[in-house]
Amino acid sequence: MKRTANRVGRNEKLSKGLAILAAVTVGVVLVGCASSSGRLNRISPGMTRDEVVSALGRPHGVAAQGDVEYLSYNFLNKGVGDMKQYAVKVVGGRVHSFGERADFGPNLLVTNEPAMK
C-alpha cells in the first residue's frame, strides 16, 4: 500500500511539473510573437518616412520606383528564434501600407542602400 501511495505522489508531482513546463513554453512563444507585431504596431498609415525610421530604426533594405518606396525590416521573434521580414510601403513620403514582406508579392526588390529623397 505504501508503494502505491508513493507512485501516486510521484505521478502528481510529474503532472504538476509538466503543467508548469507547458505554461512557461506557451508564455515564451507568446512573448516572441508579440515582439515583432508590437514593433509594427508603432506604424500607422499617413506617418512620414522619417517617423517610421524613428519608430523602427534604419531599414535593412530599401526599394524605390518613382514616389513609391518600400522599407524592409527583419525582426527576430524572441523566444521562438525565427526571423520575419516586414515591409512598409511609402507613397509620396507617407505610409500607404505595411505588413509581412510576402504580402507585397515576390517581385519586391530590395537593395541595401537607402533611396534618395
Q: Is residue 75 part of a domain?
A: yes
Residues 55-64, mean pLDDT to the nearest whole number? 92
Instruction: Please answer whether residues 39 and 26 qualify as being in contact, where contact means their C-beta atoms are separated by less than 8 angstroms.
Output: no
pLDDT of residue 49: 96
pLDDT of residue 69: 94
Mean pLDDT of the chain: 74
pLDDT of residue 22: 46
Euclidean distance between CA atoms 12 and 43, whole angstroms: 48
Does the predicted model carry a pTM greater than 0.95? Answer: no
pLDDT of residue 3: 60
Residues 33-52, mean pLDDT to the nearest whole number? 82
Q: Is residue 112 part of a domain?
A: no
CATH of the domain at 25: 3.30.1450.10
Length of the chain: 117
DSSP 29-74: HHHHHHHHHHHHTT--TT-BHHHHHHHH-S-SEEEEETTEEEEEEE
Domain count, the chain: 1
Q: Enter the DSSP assignment of 103.
A: G
